Amino acid sequence: MSHPATSGIFYVQLNKRKTMNNQQYQEYLSKVRHSAEHILTQAMFELYGQDKIVMAMGPSTNDGFYFDFESKAGFKLTEEMFPEIEAKIQEIVKRDLPIKKQEISQEEARKLFKDNPYKQEWLEEIKNRGEKPTVYWTGDAFVDLCRGPHVEKTSEVKVVKLLSIAGAYWHGDEKNKMLTRVYGTAFTKQEELDQYLWTIAEAKKRDHRKLGKEQGLFMISPSVGAGFPMYMPKGWVLRHTLENWVIEEKQKRNYQFVWTPHVAKSNLYKQSGHWQKYDAMMSPLKIDDEEYVVKPMNCPHHFQIYNETPHSYRDLPLRLAEVATVYRYEKAGEVNGLLRVRALTQDDTHTFVRHSQISEEIDRIVELIKHTYQTFGFTDYQARISVRDLKDHDKYLGSKEVWDKAEQSLEEATKRHNIPHFIGEGEAAFYGPKIDMMVKDALGREWQLTTVQLDFNQPENFDMTYVDEEGKNARPAVLHIAILGSLDRFLGILIEHYGGAFPLWLSPVQVKLATVTEKVIDQARKIVQKLKDASIRVELDDSNNTLSKKSANARNEKVPYFAILGEKETTSGLISLKNREGEQLTLTVDEAIKKLTEEIMSKK
């Protein structure tokens, strides 16, 4: 696929990628983007003066970088200024300036950034962590407080594009000052940037917030609050269909479903450790002079269910599942449609296993993961396996032998199922290794979806036991599994992945039946009822619009099948059925029901 070159972009060929694998290239690209942000800041200083721009922060991101700053002396950045800034960036790149790291003392750093309150705050945080400040110099003129990493010289930053301007609160907190944020991206090849620019243009068309409004799927009311989406009738159908699917798939695999309340005593989370360590809990509330919280996760509730009855080794694995809503605090500036919410519904599972069963159970889970992605049309994915830091095993709970076996089980399962994977050394939590599935959508954007977390800690916290083959009490391990993750987030991703054109089985409206004349309305209503009786989701368009207008409306609503009923069809007992691709069939109602039902059942 080719896309037109974009003006204001400069490009120099880079051969480094030929010698890198994908992970190494992504790490290098992150350095390029981080350095591009520093060069952007330097360019703005040179063009507009340091007295007008107070730099706050500017990291690289998954697909680019951003720079947050406070404007002074009436300075206002606009997108019309981007070409001159990009030209200045090119000039700095061509200077081939060295980018060098320097470790300095707190005193030196405080003096260096004495007029910058944001850097002073960063320095205080660095001090509290017991670390030494590091700065990066670009040549001799520009310096920023930064932990890096960066490329070695400005000439390595090949392709840069400034994208947009937005407002952003300092630290994402609406109580803080509003800053100006400049978004940009950088690549090592022009064609990669062209592909990226096409992707973001297409992503705007597919934005789930835009399509959700157009298709009447969900809404967010200021009266209810940011981060609390509400599903409208068609959105409810979509969500309910997804919930039913995941429940059925898990029940086929011997998961037992439970229900737990939305609120629990705070002591439950003190026992689990979340109270002390989890900073996204909602504020507590008082009931009968006792402290309660809305639950941020389901695991402590499921542990109570496990402990309610004694267990033998024969009972394990015990798979407890729940489609449940949990509540987590997100800053108002960070909530985003369905992708980041404060009330999220999870397809949560906690499987209690003997240590000897870990490998087999992980294999079963990976099979379900593959089946899930195949069902929803995700074909490009990889696993990130988070493992111990082997140099510091003492900080992890559980024996070396158990960890060795657990980590080996995770990696071998991905190999058996031919899933590409990479190792995140030292990224495991102290209580167990995990798998995170990284999935690319139709636009090539990567999302983290499924998580499989092995846990040796909570069985200790909650004194979970089973009676082993020798009649002695033993500790199970727990597998925390969310196949879809957050249903809300998964739906947001699906809306964009499909561009709102859902497969037949998932579509809120599967058939739109349009009448040609008023004379056939009664017959049309009978057909609609017959389709509904066959569990086909159908809507009748008996409006006064022309047939071409009715057809256009169905296309805009992305309905999978558009059916037409006129006097001719009524006389012959047939209906005309047309799919999104324009293929048209003339069938009896019974034949249409059979065809639609078979396609729905196939999940294609």
User: Which residues belong to the active site?
Assistant: 299, 328, 346, 348, 350, 434, 480
Written as one string, the DSSP assignment of 349-416 is EEEEE-GGGHHHHHHHHHHHHHHHHHHTT--EEEEEEEE--GGGGGGSSS-HHHHHHHHHHHHHHHHH
Rounded CA-CA distance 230/219 in Å is: 5
Q: How many helices and strands in the chain, by DSSP H and E?
A: 18, 27
Beta strands 65-71 and 53-57, pairing class: antiparallel
Written as one string, the DSSP assignment of 455-480 is ESSHHHHTT--EE-TTS-EEPPEEEE
CA triple 560-563-567, angle to 5 deg = 175
- Amino acid type, 41: T
Interhelix angle 233-252/487-498, rounded to 10 degrees, is: 110
Rounded CA-CA distance 587/604 in Å is: 21
Beta strands 477-486 and 343-353, pairing class: antiparallel
Which class for 171: exposed (0-12), middle (13-18), buried (19 or more C-beta within 10 A)?
middle
Cα radius of gyration (the chain): 28
231 φ/ψ angles, rounded to the nearest 5 degrees: -95, 130
166 φ/ψ angles, rounded to the nearest 5 degrees: -145, 170
3-state helix, strand, coil in the chain (%, to 5): 40, 25, 35
Q: In the 3-class helix/strand/coil scheme, how is 118-136 assigned residue by residue?
A: HHHHHHHHHHHCCCCCEEE
Residues 58 and 37: beta-carbon distance below 8 Å: yes
Selection from 6, 92, 7 nearest residue 47 by Cα? 92
Which class for 556: exposed (0-12), middle (13-18), buried (19 or more C-beta within 10 A)?
exposed
Q: Which two tokens mark 161?
A: 């594009």
